[in-house]
Amino acid sequence: MNRVILEAIALERRFTTDNPMFGTPTVVHAVNGVNLKVRQGETFAIVGESGCGKSTLARVLTRLIPASGGAVHFAGRDLSLLKPAEVRALRREIQFIFQDPFSSLNPRMTVGALIEEPMRVHKIGTRAERRARVGQLLERVGLPAQAASRFPHEFSGGQRQRIGIARALASEPTVVIGDEPVSALDVSIQAQVVNLLADLKEEFGLTLVVIAHDLAVIRHMADRVAVMYLGEIVELAPAEALFETPRHPYTEALVAAIPLPDPAMRRAEARVAGELPNPIAPPPGCKFHPRCPYAVERCARERPALSPADAQGRQVACHRAADLSLSGLAETETVRSPAAQRRFDLYAKARAAEATTE
């Protein structure tokens, strides 16, 4: 088993806001007691609805914003104890790919200057070596080396995200964190960028942490997945196990929302009610209980703790995890009308005939 390279221990991040009517400050627990371990060389995904705290967690893990409590360890070092010079050195080891490829690139800088900047800051190579590496990185992410002399506004959204990826790789990092790196892109471009990230991970030996709300993307690229709800981890498991047999009702609902490619295929519908609660005044007990179809009285008064990892490495924060049988991708079934079934049989027969002649 690979060593743990990034670890969150009881991590918290609170934001205080002023009440405009009464002037009483309110506290939002954007990240609330998160514990997780990222192993070297894996793709670790953090998923959940918008507003659940995923992006805040990513920024706290990289010290882009400070933690309000708990600790983050990188390669065994407590990041809260680092001096300013050590934090700068850390930036070389952990790089960030931002969600919006349009606002994350300085429009006044050329593409070459944007990619070269991390190398210049960390004093990597000579000027000639840096410029040569800029061209190599551009070609590696699927852009011509000549693009270095152009400006970000001359590129499409997908191309800009490739530039952002090249910039993240420039300092030769150990860990790359992508904050919804494909959510702002067209579906066809998303697949290209996902495949590019997977190839780069293997080529450069990276540890990849991906923040996302699209489980269809995560299913095909992650080794392990942590599911967040209102600032807390409610389930953590290997990707295949989590999608096939979820153990938390919220995970079941997320899996049920994954679109299916065949209109004839059916999956059990999620029975989640209502909207995400107000994070300023979250419900007591299990935060998911007002929307959960399986909730009992205990759920409303007692907050469930994340269980210790089992033999599969699975953890879940649910009082009823042991006695629930939830639906996942393994429950998907195909339901076709007689006419649709005849068309499917003809198509399958034609494909079989083509395979025989080949």
Q: For residues 342 and 249, state if they share a domain.
A: yes
- Which of 146, 172, 198 is the last residue before a domain boundary? 172
Residues near 64 by Cβ (< 8 Å), separated by ≥ 6? 96
> Is residue 136's pLDDT more than 70?
yes
pLDDT at res. 257: 82
Q: For residues 154 and 253, state if they share a domain.
A: no
Predicted model pTM: 0.87
Tell me, yes or no, whether 298 lies in a domain: yes
> Is residue 8's pLDDT more than 80?
yes
Strand pairing category for 315-316 and 232-238: antiparallel
In whole angstroms, what is the distance from residue 216 CA to residue 18 CA?
38
In whole angstroms, what is the distance from residue 238 CA to residue 326 CA?
17
Tell me, yes or no, whether 345 lies in a domain: yes
Q: What is the pLDDT of residues 277-333, one digit of tens each?
A: 888 888 999 999 999 989 999 999 999 999 998 988 899 999 999 898 888 877 655
In whole angstroms, what is the distance from residue 225 CA to residue 219 CA?
9
pLDDT band for position 355 (50/70/90)? low
Tell me, yes or no, whether 184 lies in a domain: no
- 127 token code pair: 């000027």
> Is residue 335's pLDDT more than 60?
no
Please count the other Cβ atoms lying within 10 Å of the Cβ belonging to residue 274.
7
The answer to whether 13 and 33 have CB atoms below 8 angstroms apart is no
Domain of residue 136 covers 107-172
pLDDT at res. 264: 63
- Which of 122, 157, 172 is the last residue before a domain boundary? 172
Q: What residues form DSSP beta bridges with 114?
A: none
- Which of 132, 149, 172 is the last residue before a domain boundary? 172
Tell me, yes or no, whether 200 lies in a domain: no
Q: What is the pLDDT of residues 232-278, one digit of tens each?
A: 999 999 999 999 899 999 999 898 888 776 666 666 666 777 778 88
> Among 4-13, 40-49, 109-118, 215-224, whose mean pLDDT is lowest?
215-224
Q: For residues 352 and 251, state if they share a domain.
A: yes
Tell me, yes or no, whether 9 lies in a domain: no
What domain count does the chain have? 2
Tell me, yes or no, whether 34 lies in a domain: no
**Closest listed residue to residue 105, CA positions, set 54, 180, 156:** 156
- Which element (helix H / strand E) includes 88? helix 84-93
Tell me, yes or no, whether 20 lies in a domain: no
- Which element (helix H / strand E) includes 71? strand 69-74
> Is residue 339's pLDDT more than 70?
no
Question: Tokens 């490739």 belong to which residue?
Answer: 162
pLDDT at res. 256: 85
pLDDT at res. 23: 65
Tell me, yes or no, whether 205 lies in a domain: no
Distances (CA, A) of 226 to 63, 146, 152: 20, 40, 34
The answer to whether 246 and 330 have CB atoms below 8 angstroms apart is no
pLDDT at res. 20: 62
Q: What is the pLDDT of residues 160-216, one digit of tens each?
A: 999 999 999 999 999 999 998 887 777 778 888 888 898 999 999 999 999 988 788
Q: What is the pLDDT of residues 27-60, one digit of tens each?
A: 888 999 999 999 999 999 999 988 889 999 999 9
